[in-house]
Amino acid sequence: MLRLASVGLLVGVSALAAPGGKVVRIERNRGLRTIPRICEVAPVAKNGNCLGQPSPGERVALIDQERALVLGEFRINEAGPAQDAAFACPGVVTSVFRIAGVVSSGDPDVIADSGRVIGLRNLSLDPKVARVLKDQNVPNTQDRADLALDIDGNGRVDYLLFRYFCDEANNPVQTSDRRLCFDTYLERGGHLSKAHTENIQLCY
Protein backbone atom coordinates (compact mmCIF):
# COMPACT_ATOMS: atom_id res chain seq x y z
CA MET A 1 0.00 0.00 0.00
CA LEU A 2 1.16 3.46 -0.75
CA ARG A 3 2.61 5.06 2.37
CA LEU A 4 3.25 8.51 0.91
CA ALA A 5 2.22 11.00 3.54
CA SER A 6 6.73 17.31 -1.31
CA VAL A 7 8.64 27.17 -1.58
CA GLY A 8 8.20 30.32 -1.44
CA LEU A 9 6.49 32.39 1.19
CA LEU A 10 4.09 34.96 -0.13
CA VAL A 11 5.31 38.02 1.62
CA GLY A 12 2.87 40.85 2.08
CA VAL A 13 4.07 44.34 2.71
CA SER A 14 2.40 46.98 4.81
CA ALA A 15 3.57 50.52 5.34
CA LEU A 16 3.51 52.33 8.66
CA ALA A 17 4.39 55.92 9.28
CA ALA A 18 7.61 56.25 11.26
CA PRO A 19 8.88 59.28 13.11
CA GLY A 20 10.04 61.98 10.73
CA GLY A 21 7.56 60.97 8.05
CA LYS A 22 9.58 57.96 6.86
CA VAL A 23 7.83 54.84 5.62
CA VAL A 24 8.78 51.57 7.24
CA ARG A 25 8.11 48.39 5.26
CA ILE A 26 7.14 45.41 7.40
CA GLU A 27 7.13 41.96 5.86
CA ARG A 28 4.41 39.59 6.96
CA ASN A 29 4.01 35.90 6.29
CA ARG A 30 0.97 35.49 4.03
CA GLY A 31 1.26 31.74 3.62
CA LEU A 32 2.74 29.38 1.09
CA ARG A 33 2.77 30.53 -2.50
CA THR A 34 3.38 27.08 -4.02
CA ILE A 35 1.57 23.93 -2.95
CA PRO A 36 3.99 21.45 -1.34
CA ARG A 37 3.92 18.06 -3.05
CA ILE A 38 4.30 14.85 -1.09
CA CYS A 39 7.18 12.41 -1.33
CA GLU A 40 8.23 9.40 0.70
CA VAL A 41 11.99 9.28 0.93
CA ALA A 42 14.49 6.63 2.03
CA PRO A 43 17.47 8.93 2.63
CA VAL A 44 19.96 6.14 3.37
CA ALA A 45 18.95 4.25 0.22
CA LYS A 46 18.99 7.58 -1.66
CA ASN A 47 15.63 7.06 -3.35
CA GLY A 48 11.89 7.41 -2.90
CA ASN A 49 8.54 8.14 -4.53
CA CYS A 50 6.87 11.50 -5.18
CA LEU A 51 3.35 12.53 -6.13
CA GLY A 52 3.43 14.73 -9.20
CA GLN A 53 6.36 14.90 -11.58
CA PRO A 54 9.53 16.23 -9.95
CA SER A 55 12.55 17.67 -11.73
CA PRO A 56 16.27 17.04 -11.20
CA GLY A 57 17.70 19.68 -8.92
CA GLU A 58 14.55 20.08 -6.82
CA ARG A 59 14.96 19.84 -3.08
CA VAL A 60 12.72 17.92 -0.71
CA ALA A 61 12.25 18.89 2.93
CA LEU A 62 12.67 15.78 5.11
CA ILE A 63 10.41 15.22 8.13
CA ASP A 64 10.45 12.43 10.72
CA GLN A 65 6.80 12.01 11.72
CA GLU A 66 7.38 9.70 14.66
CA ARG A 67 9.94 11.93 16.37
CA ALA A 68 8.33 15.17 15.16
CA LEU A 69 11.61 16.43 13.67
CA VAL A 70 12.55 18.49 10.66
CA LEU A 71 15.61 16.57 9.47
CA GLY A 72 17.10 18.45 6.51
CA GLU A 73 16.84 18.32 2.72
CA PHE A 74 17.15 15.76 -0.06
CA ARG A 75 18.26 16.85 -3.55
CA ILE A 76 16.63 15.05 -6.49
CA ASN A 77 19.15 14.01 -9.14
CA GLU A 78 16.95 11.67 -11.20
CA ALA A 79 13.20 11.23 -11.65
CA GLY A 80 10.98 8.95 -13.72
CA PRO A 81 7.62 7.13 -13.61
CA ALA A 82 7.33 4.67 -10.74
CA GLN A 83 7.88 1.08 -11.81
CA ASP A 84 6.05 -0.43 -8.84
CA ALA A 85 3.12 -2.50 -10.12
CA ALA A 86 0.83 -0.91 -7.53
CA PHE A 87 1.14 2.43 -9.33
CA ALA A 88 1.62 1.38 -12.96
CA CYS A 89 -2.02 0.78 -13.90
CA PRO A 90 -2.61 -0.26 -17.54
CA GLY A 91 -4.02 2.63 -19.54
CA VAL A 92 -3.60 5.12 -16.70
CA VAL A 93 -1.05 7.93 -16.74
CA THR A 94 0.85 7.60 -13.49
CA SER A 95 1.15 10.47 -11.06
CA VAL A 96 3.67 8.63 -8.87
CA PHE A 97 7.33 9.14 -9.76
CA ARG A 98 10.47 7.39 -8.58
CA ILE A 99 13.30 9.65 -7.47
CA ALA A 100 16.99 9.17 -6.72
CA GLY A 101 19.37 11.67 -5.18
CA VAL A 102 21.32 12.59 -2.07
CA VAL A 103 20.82 14.22 1.31
CA SER A 104 22.00 17.81 0.85
CA SER A 105 21.61 19.06 4.43
CA GLY A 106 20.98 17.71 7.92
CA ASP A 107 22.73 15.51 10.47
CA PRO A 108 23.53 12.17 8.74
CA ASP A 109 23.33 10.19 11.99
CA VAL A 110 19.94 11.62 12.96
CA ILE A 111 18.62 11.00 9.45
CA ALA A 112 19.97 7.43 9.42
CA ASP A 113 18.14 6.71 12.70
CA SER A 114 14.82 7.97 11.37
CA GLY A 115 12.01 5.60 10.57
CA ARG A 116 9.33 6.80 8.20
CA VAL A 117 10.44 9.97 6.46
CA ILE A 118 7.93 12.16 4.68
CA GLY A 119 9.27 14.62 2.13
CA LEU A 120 7.70 17.79 0.79
CA ARG A 121 8.76 19.36 -2.49
CA ASN A 122 8.20 23.09 -3.03
CA LEU A 123 8.89 23.74 0.62
CA SER A 124 11.94 25.03 2.46
CA LEU A 125 12.00 24.46 6.22
CA ASP A 126 14.33 25.95 8.80
CA PRO A 127 14.93 23.17 11.39
CA LYS A 128 15.51 25.82 14.04
CA VAL A 129 12.11 27.39 13.45
CA ALA A 130 9.69 24.90 11.86
CA ARG A 131 7.86 22.45 14.12
CA VAL A 132 5.89 19.25 13.57
CA LEU A 133 2.60 19.57 15.46
CA LYS A 134 1.05 16.33 16.67
CA ASP A 135 -2.61 15.35 17.18
CA GLN A 136 -4.08 18.01 14.89
CA ASN A 137 -7.61 17.66 13.53
CA VAL A 138 -8.54 18.17 9.90
CA PRO A 139 -10.60 21.39 9.64
CA ASN A 140 -14.32 20.93 10.35
CA THR A 141 -13.90 17.22 11.16
CA GLN A 142 -12.86 14.92 13.97
CA ASP A 143 -10.31 13.22 11.71
CA ARG A 144 -6.66 13.37 12.69
CA ALA A 145 -4.18 14.82 10.24
CA ASP A 146 -1.34 12.66 8.96
CA LEU A 147 1.06 15.60 9.17
CA ALA A 148 0.81 19.18 10.45
CA LEU A 149 3.56 21.79 10.30
CA ASP A 150 4.14 25.15 11.93
CA ILE A 151 6.51 26.61 9.37
CA ASP A 152 7.23 30.02 10.87
CA GLY A 153 7.34 29.10 14.58
CA ASN A 154 4.25 31.02 15.67
CA GLY A 155 2.57 27.94 17.15
CA ARG A 156 -0.15 27.68 14.50
CA VAL A 157 -0.56 25.14 11.69
CA ASP A 158 0.57 26.41 8.28
CA TYR A 159 0.46 23.08 6.40
CA LEU A 160 -1.71 20.03 7.01
CA LEU A 161 -1.94 16.69 5.20
CA PHE A 162 -4.82 14.20 5.39
CA ARG A 163 -4.77 10.78 3.71
CA TYR A 164 -7.86 8.61 3.14
CA PHE A 165 -9.35 5.99 0.81
CA CYS A 166 -11.59 7.64 -1.77
CA ASP A 167 -13.49 7.33 -5.05
CA GLU A 168 -12.77 9.05 -8.38
CA ALA A 169 -14.51 12.23 -7.15
CA ASN A 170 -12.35 12.43 -4.00
CA ASN A 171 -15.21 11.32 -1.75
CA PRO A 172 -14.16 9.21 1.27
CA VAL A 173 -14.86 5.49 0.82
CA GLN A 174 -14.42 3.19 3.80
CA THR A 175 -15.04 -0.08 1.95
CA SER A 176 -12.46 0.24 -0.84
CA ASP A 177 -8.68 0.30 -1.01
CA ARG A 178 -8.30 0.96 -4.75
CA ARG A 179 -7.74 4.70 -4.49
CA LEU A 180 -5.94 6.97 -2.06
CA CYS A 181 -6.57 10.67 -1.71
CA PHE A 182 -4.22 13.20 -0.13
CA ASP A 183 -5.74 16.53 0.90
CA THR A 184 -3.37 19.46 1.38
CA TYR A 185 -4.52 22.32 3.61
CA LEU A 186 -2.66 25.63 3.75
CA GLU A 187 -3.00 28.65 5.98
CA ARG A 188 -4.99 31.33 4.20
CA GLY A 189 -6.08 34.52 5.95
CA GLY A 190 -5.67 33.11 9.43
CA HIS A 191 -7.35 29.75 8.86
CA LEU A 192 -6.64 26.47 7.06
CA SER A 193 -8.18 25.97 3.62
CA LYS A 194 -8.01 22.95 1.34
CA ALA A 195 -5.60 23.85 -1.46
CA HIS A 196 -5.12 20.60 -3.36
CA THR A 197 -6.23 16.96 -3.54
CA GLU A 198 -4.10 14.21 -5.06
CA ASN A 199 -6.06 11.13 -6.18
CA ILE A 200 -3.98 7.97 -6.72
CA GLN A 201 -5.35 4.81 -8.30
CA LEU A 202 -3.88 1.58 -6.96
CA CYS A 203 -3.48 -1.42 -9.24
CA TYR A 204 -2.94 -4.43 -6.99
Q: What confidence tens digit (pLDDT) does each residue in 171-194 have?
A: 999 888 889 999 999 999 889 999
CA distance 185 to 23: 35
More confident site: 126 or 32? 126
For residue 84, is it within any domain?
A: yes
pLDDT value for 31 = 57
CB 148 within 8 A of CB 138: no
For residue 53, is it within any domain?
A: yes
Quick one: residue 137, left, alpha or beta (phi over 0 = left, psi -120 to 50 = alpha)?
A: beta
CB 107 within 8 A of CB 61: no
For residue 178, is it within any domain?
A: yes
Q: Is the pLDDT of residue 18 over 50?
A: no
Mean pLDDT, the chain, whole residue set: 83
pLDDT value for 84 = 79
For residue 41, is it within any domain?
A: yes
Q: Return the SS3 of 111.
A: helix
Q: Is the pLDDT of residue 115 over 60?
A: yes
> Which amino acid type is present at position 156?
R
Calculate mean pLDDT across residues 68-75: 95
CA distance 145 to 137: 6
For residue 5, is it within any domain?
A: no
CB 105 within 8 A of CB 73: yes
For residue 17, is it within any domain?
A: no
Range of the domain at 83: 25-201
Helical residues (DSSP H) of 85-137, grouped into ranges: 108-112
For residue 19, is it within any domain?
A: no
For residue 1, is it within any domain?
A: no
Q: How far is CA 10 from the centre of its chain?
A: 17
Closest CA to 38 of 191, 151, 190, 163: 163
Please tell me the total count of domains within the chain. Answer: 1
Where does the pLDDT of residue 85 fall: very low under 50, low under 70, confident under 90, or very high at 90 and above?
confident
More confident site: 14 or 104? 104
